[in-house]
Amino acid sequence: MSKPKVHPVLQFVLLIVPVVMSGFYMVYALTGLILEGRDKVNWSIEAINVANSVGGGIALYSLFVMGFAYLRKLGTFHILMVSGLGHLVLALILTAVVYIIVLL
């Protein structure tokens, strides 16, 4: 039996962090759709800064995980690579959604 290239606990941590971050970011981004009036104005004031920092943070973390998986030679379809790419794309989409909602 060969030794795993990534310890299961490390793999779990690398997978759970972007799930939680993306979940909260999705709720934040979609909150802009249901707010109205002064609440939406207040949300819009801070939304661009939040989108840049949180979206950028998720994107950087995803690139880090993908780089880690690449250096460990885990393969293109390993769960860390797929998760990293998925959360990177999701972060970019949610950031674009926030920008669109602010402009509406």
Is the pTM higher than 0.85?
Answer: yes
Answer whether residue 15 is part of any domain: yes
Q: Domain for residue 37, yes or no? A: yes
Distance set, CA 46 to CA 42, 55, 76, 90, 98 (Å): 7, 14, 37, 20, 11
Would residue 93 count as lying in a domain?
Answer: yes
Number of domains in the chain: 1
Contact 69, 84 (CB under 8 A): yes
Asked, for residue 97, whether it belongs to a domain, the answer is yes
Residue 3 in domain:
no
- Domain of residue 50 covers 8-103
Residues 6+ apart with CB under 8 A from 22: 58, 87, 90, 91, 94
Whether residue 1 lies inside any domain: the answer is no
pLDDT in tens, 35-73: 999 999 999 999 999 999 999 999 999 999 999 999 999
Q: If you compute the radius of gyration of the chain from its CA atoms, what whole number of angstroms results?
A: 17
Q: Is residue 2 part of a domain?
A: no
Q: Is residue 34 part of a domain?
A: yes
